[in-house]
Amino acid sequence: MTQSFDLQRYIQQLETLVNVDCGTRTVQGVAKIADILTPMFEQIGFSVTRHHVSDEAGPCLEITNKPNAEFYDVMLSGHMDTVFPEGTVAKRPMSLDEQKIYGPGTSDMKSGILSAWYALQQLSDEERDRLAIVVALNCDEEIGSLYSRTWIEEMARKSRRVLVCEAARTSGNLIRSRKGNAKYELIFNGVASHAGSALEEGVSAIYELSHWALAIKNLVNLETGTTMNVGVIEGGLVVNVVPDFAKATVDLRFWSNEEAQIIDDTLRAMAKTPFEKGASVEVNRLTFKPSMQPTDATQVMMTIVSEEADKLDIQYGWEDAGGGSDGNFTANVGTPTLDGFGPMGSGFHSDKEFLLIDSIKPRIDLLANVLKRL
């Protein structure tokens, strides 16, 4: 089933998807996106199952040509949510000029979902018969897939490989690896006392926090890429009281999951021996996303993608990205994963977000031709 590409139609479809407020917490908006996409995929012969993962989040869609398959040959991964609050669409709905399309979620990642929809239509009947394909669209990627992670991992375990349809870089680059990340909340407790009359009876939570901030700075290893940032601190109430409470929020990034574990062990060990006598420290890991690292099987996929990109005369490279995606989760369960199969874009999570119009068709063709090779 090949057909010529109608850019105007694509832009209309994109507009329908972008002009819905569908931030992760706007559950009805995410459901609306699922409502729009369901008949679209059904219309091209795919069956759509809606999964409920939480009352706090919208639905997830499992879209497949082989509803009874035990394994999928390939999983195309995407998310239906954005980072933008309700009211964003009213303020800045989709717009475009000669080169770019703007609007909330254009490249992150409504265009990637459309890429999947168009690429699937380029497969022949024989190819659709041969391949068991699942398009897995979740509802909460932008908050670290808090509710859908188990479902995503289940889909990935059932799949032989994963192609994530997040946007390609404006350089043309696709993504072969992504750093892992974690967020920690550190709670420091001390003993309050009057700074004038009973200073020595107090235990300062802020002094304890200060020791930790510098110790964390010393844990940073720029060579291996294990980095930490004490991003937010708070504590104390008034200037004449020794503070009995302080809190730090810390960001951790890493290429090596082992190094992340060592950091975690180190923080928990440090909490057992506070710097300030009488202080106590609580270490809470709020989020954790393992790193996405290429394996030998990933290299095989990279070769296929590179060959097909060369045939289409597409400019590209392989990027090691600092930020995470659901690809981190799918790679971590052992399924070879590559990312960046959407059209080229940038400015994600800001009002500068855009999509490069010239990249839409070539990137759909690339995805389709890669699928044909599997």
Binding site for Zn ion (CB under 5 A): 108-109, 166
Q: Quick one: 365 exposed, middle or buried, by C-beta within 10 A (0-12, 13-18, 19+)?
A: buried
Closest CA to 338 of 309, 366, 299: 299
d(CA 47, CA 57): 22
DSSP state of 141: G
193 vs 328, beta carbon nearer Zn ion: 328
Q: Say if residues 291 and 328 touch (Cβ distance below 8 Å).
A: yes
Our CA angle for 361, 307, 117, nearest 5°, is: 35
21 is annotated as an active-site residue:
no
How far from the centroid of its chain's Cα atoms is residue 293's Cα?
15
258 is annotated as an active-site residue:
no
Beta strands in 193-244 (DSSP E): 193-194, 227-235, 241-242
Beta strands in the chain (DSSP E): 47-52, 59-64, 74-79, 95-96, 100-102, 133-138, 162-164, 167-168, 174-178, 180-189, 193-194, 227-235, 241-242, 245-254, 280-289, 318-321, 337-339, 342-346, 354-356
Q: Say if residues 295 and 332 touch (Cβ distance below 8 Å).
A: no
Q: Exactly one of 21, 62, 81, 308 is catalytic; which is it?
A: 81
Q: How far is CA 311 from CA 44, 74, 308, 341, 368, in A?
A: 27, 22, 5, 16, 13
59 vs 324, beta carbon nearer Zn ion: 324
Closest CA to 32 of 64, 63, 59: 59
Q: How far is CA 219 from CA 122, 254, 259, 286, in A?
A: 50, 12, 10, 19
Q: Exactly one of 141, 166, 259, 353 is catalytic; which is it?
A: 141
How far from the centroid of its chain's Cα atoms is residue 70's Cα?
26
Beta strands in 258-327 (DSSP E): 280-289, 318-321
Please give the positions annotated as active site: 81, 141
